[in-house]
Amino acid sequence: MAVASEKTVIRTTCPRDCYDSCGIAVVKRDGAITKVLGDPAHPVSRGALCGKCALAYNGVWRDPAHRLQRPLKRSGAKGEGRFVAVGWDEALGEIASGLKRVLAEAGPAAIWHAHYTGTCSLLAGGFPVRFFNRLGAGEVEPDSICNLAGHVALDLVFGSSYTGFDPRSARDAACILVWGANPSASAPHAHKHWLAEAPGRKIVIDPVRHTTAAAADLHLQPFPGSDAALAFAMLHVIRREGLIDRGYLARHALGWEEVEPKLDACTPDWGERVTGVPMRLIEAAAVLYGRGPSLLWLGQGLQRQPMGGNLFRACALLPAANGNIGKPGAGFYYLNGGARKGLDGDSIAAPELRAEPERKLSHMDLAAALADPARSRALFCWNINIAASNPDQRRLHAALRREDLLTVVVDLFQTDTADLADYILPAASFLEFDDIVSPYFNLTLSAQVKAAEPMGEALPNQEIFRRLARAMGYDEPALFEADSVLLDRLCRQAGIGGGFAELKARATVELFAEPVLQFADGRFPTPSGRIEIASARAEALGLPRAPLPHADPRPAGGRLRLLSPASAWTMNTSYGNDPRNRGKLAAEGLTLHPEDAAARGLSEGALARLSNEAGELLLPVHVAAKVPPGVALASKGAWPKLDGRRRNINALHTGRKADMGESTSVHAIEVTVAPAGS
Ligand SMILES: Nc1nc2c(c(=O)[nH]1)N[C@H]1C(S)=C(S)[C@@H](COP(=O)(O)OP(=O)(O)OC[C@H]3O[C@@H](n4cnc5c(=O)[nH]c(N)nc54)[C@H](O)[C@@H]3O)O[C@H]1N2
Ligand SMILES: Nc1nc2c(c(=O)[nH]1)N[C@H]1C(S)=C(S)[C@@H](COP(=O)(O)OP(=O)(O)OC[C@H]3O[C@@H](n4cnc5c(=O)[nH]c(N)nc54)[C@H](O)[C@@H]3O)O[C@H]1N2
Ligand code: SF4
Ligand SMILES: [Mo]
């Protein structure tokens, strides 16, 4: 008779770049992981994982046939995809020699590292920066691929973009306005529980009628890039209805008088003409928001526009002029940062190791910089998949094929970026080491707990860079600090006195007993201590002093505006290699409004050719009125190498910069759409 097998459950946390930071239950039998499930005790996800992680964590993430397991060294021509396995010492020794050669010949200025949020856990996401600080390498500005325009804008207005509302304030809110975010895909449990159970009425402002929009009390569908005008039209109504909080403005803001005269012309009728939103909806949304108390969630998708910074400053006028800040049920949110919880980012990244002045490069300029041997001789990519996620894909791929660009990629999988490397280093997955997750929505802290040994010879990012520091002959103790020391320190910074052991035992810790009121004291960390509606700092940056009621011009010449936001089935490009996730993503295709499809002779399932000055892509058509006429929708996330022509949606992204932060304007792509055969 077989002996009953021993079952254990390990509680950990999903560290993806996601609002939810779900609790996970890892089921093990006889020492081996058999299933990765949701943790029923987790307050956000309540026992479920999202569909994409349920598939991927029980698919490619635990599949030895898909995971990188040994360091690899290029054996064919660059980009050909031929590699041989080598030992860690050999790989790191050769990388160190290569780096020393570049340092001797060109200095650290020719070395770049690109990284982002492949994992958001604190050590695997932050500790390697210590190595690059010591090396003096330049950093490809991480947020310029995602959300920097919004950060710069909110920093100008409020002095912080990382101090959002506490989601628990929803219990006191009469209205929740979700503007340019899609929780049904990008925060699925917040969509399902937090938003659904909030007592207030919901408004969604998004060109796409996604699941969260369809479930809202009001859905406004502006043409992309017209939201600043919409904000002004809403303020016109808020003023007309006597809902401007003049006392709040007088006490806490500067520069309202520079904006207010502009409202005269921004009537709802004007708003309808400029944004496409019917005036009765503009009025209804303005009154509902304006009566308050209201929460305003500013999505990251919202600011990926040529005038994304101006757009965010315009949206920020709503809570400021309406006094919807600092009282129960009121506030705005973009991201909640670690500092909010006492975490000190510098204690992870150790900027004091840097002898060189800091150098940054926008992702929008990366292809050009890598194409130029005088500017770049070595590149590290870790926690990022630039060959799939970045703009200017054709030029970027060409630059990465430079034989003389020493390229090192650290990843779990053989991505398109890894295919273009000289050395590929296998990273351990979040199931394979201890770490900490600091959610950017809820004011909580969670443990990432080791549930298995790293697959093959894979190592956590932090250990890879400790070993590389040793291979370089560095001797600063900070480069070698142990995970356990770092984890305990971070827990104590957040007030968890028992250190990581306590966090691990509690899985997720609520750091504040009661909902935290945002800027309750009415003091803002701007130079003036007030909300800077008109901003001298903006002026010094060459920007308008105050936000403008701008709307982007509509595409001309029959082109469509292409949106490529988050899919429910991939996490950026992560999971794009899992056969099941990939199938779900591919089935989404290119959504066109029935009028646009008919005008182009495209019917459901037909193959369309999308083209513009950056490139060309083929996608199957899905016809649905969930987008307005003039707008096309196709999610991000596909792996170029799994498309016959090695490209994805970013083959169409020119890399045009937003007005602030040299940030992406990916939601402003314009394309010609035609039948593939034409
Ligand atoms: N067209 C279009 N393009 C976009 C966007 C869009 O909306 N539309 N959005 C942009 C946005 S918002 C972002 S944030 C970027 C994201 O772009 P990326 O940062 O490239 O995100 P991912 O595609 O998930 O790639 C992260 C990589 O990290 C790897 N990884 C995961 N865990 C670990 C680990 O522990 N260690 C290491 N070394 N690697 C790990 C994953 O396998 C994956 O290959 O894409 C941008 N690109
Ligand atoms: N499933 C899943 N979840 C994810 C990700 C993922 O790839 N997949 N990515 C993660 C990352 S890195 C990020 S940054 C977040 C992003 O998550 P979100 O903040 O939700 O951002 P996006 O998905 O890029 O876009 C959100 C919405 O913005 C809308 N939008 C685009 N342009 C405009 C406009 O001009 N006006 C208005 N009003 N709306 C506009 C799009 O139609 C889309 O519905 O999600 C994270 N979570
Ligand atoms: S990606 Fe987000 S929704 Fe999915 S399991 Fe992870 S934290 Fe939860
Ligand atoms: Mo992002």
Q: What is the pLDDT of residues 500-515, one digit of tens each?
A: 999 999 999 999 999 9
Which atom of ligand 2 lies closest to the CA of 225? 35
Which residues have any ligand 1 atom within 6 Å of their CB? Answer: 17, 116-119, 124, 145-146, 382-385, 388-389, 410-413, 415, 427, 461, 564-565, 571-574, 636, 649-650, 653, 666
Mutate to test the pocket of ligand 1, among 60, 303, 412 (most ligand atoms within 8 A of CB): 412
Distance of CA 573 from the midpoint of ligand 1 (Å): 6
pLDDT category of residue 677 using cuts at 50, 70 and 90:
confident
Q: Is 114 helix (H, G, I), strand (E, B) or coil?
A: strand
Output the CA 147–ligand 4 centroid distance in Å. 6
Length of the chain (residues): 678
- The model's pTM is 0.98
Query: 224 CB less than 6 Å from ligand 2?
Result: yes
Strand order through the sheet with 32-38: 7-13, 23-29, 32-38
Nearest residue to 494 via CA among 484, 481, 508 = 508
- Residue closest via CA to ligand 3's atom 6 equals 14
Which 8-state DSSP code applies to residue 195?
I
**Ligand 2 nearest-atom number relative to CA 570:** 8
- Check residue 5 and give its pLDDT: 79
Report d(CA 315, CA 177) in Å as an integer.
Answer: 11
Ligand 2 centre distance from Cα of residue 355 (Å): 38
Closest among 645, 147, 108 to 363, alpha carbons compared = 147
Pocket test for ligand 2, best of 206, 281, 305, 564 (most atoms within 8 A of CB): 206
Distance CA 232, CA 235 (A): 5
DSSP 354-419: --SPP-EE-GGGHHHHHH-TTT-SEEEEES--HHHHSSSHHHHHHHHT-TTSEEEEEESB--HHHH
- Mean pLDDT in residue range 187-215: 98
* CA of 122, nearest ligand number: 1
> Which of 12, 18, 567, 584 has most ligand 3 atoms within 8 Å of CB, for mutation?
18
Which atom of ligand 1 is the closest one to the Cα of 571? 24
Q: Are 467 and 89 in contact (CB under 8 A)?
A: no
pLDDT at 329: 98
- Across 427-478, the runs of DSSP E, i.e. the strands, are 435-437, 444-448
The proportion of the chain whose per-residue pLDDT surpasses 90, expressed as a percent, equals 98
**213 vs 27, 165, 180, 216, CA distance in Å?**
36, 21, 10, 5
- Give the CA distances from residue 254 to residues 8, 251, 321, 524, 533, in Å, rounded to whole numbers and listed in that order: 58, 9, 11, 11, 6
- 516-543: pLDDT as tens digits: 999 999 999 999 999 999 999 999 999 9
Q: What pLDDT shows up at residue 678? A: 77
Atom of ligand 2 nearest to the CA of 183: 20
**Mind listing the pLDDT tens digit for each residue in 4-50?**
678 999 999 999 999 999 999 999 999 999 999 999 999 999 999 99
Q: Which residues line ligand 3 (CB under 6 A)?
A: 14, 16, 18, 20-22, 45, 49-50, 53, 188-189, 571
Answer whether residue 98 shows pLDDT above 60: yes
- Asked whether 299 lines ligand 2 (CB < 6 A), one says yes
Atom of ligand 2 nearest to the CA of 50: 1
What is the structure's pLDDT at 356?
87
- What residues contact 391, with CB distance under 8 A and at least 6 apart? 363, 364, 367, 614, 650, 653, 654, 655, 664, 666
Q: Is the per-residue pLDDT at 229 higher than 80? A: yes
CA distance 518 to 324: 10
Q: What is the 518 CA–ligand 2 centroid distance (Å)? A: 24
**H-only helix segments in 434-522:** 461-471, 483-493, 499-506
Nearest ligand to the C-alpha atom of residue 462: 1
Q: Is 631 left (phi over 0), alpha (psi -120 to 50) or beta?
A: beta
Please give the angle made by the CA atoms of 27, 30 and 31, to the nearest 5 degrees: 70
CA-to-CA distance for 232 and 317, rounded, in angstroms? 9
User: Residue 337 above 90 pLDDT?
Assistant: yes
The predicted model gives 351-379 an average pLDDT of 97
pLDDT per residue over 250-282, tens digit each? 999 999 999 999 999 999 999 999 999 999 999
- How much is the average pLDDT of 376-381? 98
Angle at Cα 425 formed by Cα 565 and Cα 343, nearest 5°? 60
Distance separating alpha carbons of residues 66 and 509, to the nearest angstrom: 34
Q: Which of 22, 52, 182, 670 most suits a substitution to test ligand 2, by most atoms within 8 Å of the C-beta?
A: 182
pLDDT single digits (tens) 53-92: 999 999 999 999 999 999 999 999 999 999 999 999 999 9
Q: Longest C-alpha distance within the chain, in Å?
A: 85
Which residue, judged by its Cα, is nearest atom 3 of ligand 3? 50
* Closest atom of ligand 1 to CA, residue 417: 44
666 lines ligand 2 (CB under 6 A): no
Considering every ligand atom, which ligand is closest to the CA of 222? Answer: 2
Ligand positioned closest to the Cα atom of 393: 1
Which residue is associated with the tokens 């009415």?
522
What is the full DSSP assignment across 297-353?
EE-TGGG-STTHHHHHHHHHHHHHHTT-SSSTT-EEES---GGGGT--THHHH-GGG
Q: Is the CB of 146 under 6 A from ligand 2?
A: yes
Ligand 3 center from residue 19 Cα (angstroms): 8
Q: Tell how far the Cα of 562 is from the centroid of ligand 2, in angstroms.
A: 13
Tell me what the pLDDT averaged over the chain comes to: 97
Q: 44: which 2 tokens?
A: 């956000």
Q: Is 418 within 8 Å of 640 (Cβ atoms)? A: no
pLDDT for res 3: 63
Taking the centre of ligand 2 as the mean of its atom positions, its distance from the CA of residue 631, in whole angstroms, is 15
Determine whether the shortest distance from the Cβ of 205 to ligand 2 is under 6 A: yes
Asked if 335 and 440 touch (Cβ cutoff 8 Å), the reply is yes
Q: Atom 41 of ligand 1 has which residue's CA nearest to it?
A: 118
Ligand 4 centroid – CA 9 distance (Å): 31
Query: pLDDT digit string (tens) for 449-481?
Result: 999 999 999 999 999 999 999 999 999 999 999
How many whole angstroms separate alpha carbon 227 and alpha carbon 533? 17
For every residue of 543-574, DSSP letters joined together read S-SS-----PPPP-TT-EEEE----TT-BTTB
In the numeric block, which tokens belong to residue 89?
A: 């010492």
Q: Which of 659, 667, 670 to mutate to test the pocket of ligand 2 (most atoms within 8 A of CB)?
A: 667
- Among candidates 257, 322, 260, 256, which has minimal Cα distance to 291? 322
What is d(CA 244, CA 76) in angstroms, rounded to the nearest whole number?
Answer: 66
| CB of 190 closer than 6 angstroms to any ligand 2 atom | no
* Ligand 1 centroid distance, CA of 560 (Å): 26
Query: Does ligand 2 lie within 6 Å of residue 361's CB atom?
Result: no
Atom 22 of ligand 2: nearest residue by CA position: 301
Ligand 4: centre distance to CA 145 (Å): 7
Dist. CA 140–CA 98, nearest whole Å: 20
- If one counts every other C-beta atom within 10 angstroms of the C-beta of residue 405, the result is 22
CB 287 within 8 A of CB 322: no
Q: E strands within 564-636?
A: 590-592, 607-611, 616-623, 631-633
Atom 12 of ligand 2 has which residue's CA nearest to it?
17
Ligand 1 nearest-atom number relative to CA 121: 35
Taking the C-alpha atoms of residue 25 and residue 33, their distance in angstroms, rounded to an integer, is 11
pLDDT of residue 2: 56
Exposed, middle or buried, 73 (CB in 10 Å: 0-12/13-18/19+)?
middle
Question: Which are the contacts of 369, defined by CB distance < 8 A and separation ≥ 6?
Answer: 112, 361, 375, 376
Locus of tokens 């909030």: 198
Ligand 2 pocket test, pick from 300, 310, 588 with the greatest ligand atom count within 8 Å of Cβ, gives: 300
Q: How confident is the model at residue 214 (pLDDT cuts 50, 70, 90)?
A: very high
CA of 274 to the centre of ligand 4 (A): 28
Half-sphere exposure of 146 (CA within 13 A, CB side): 17
C-alpha of residue 650 to centroid of ligand 1, in Å: 13
Rounded to the nearest 5 percent, the helix, strand and coil shares of the chain are 40, 20, 45
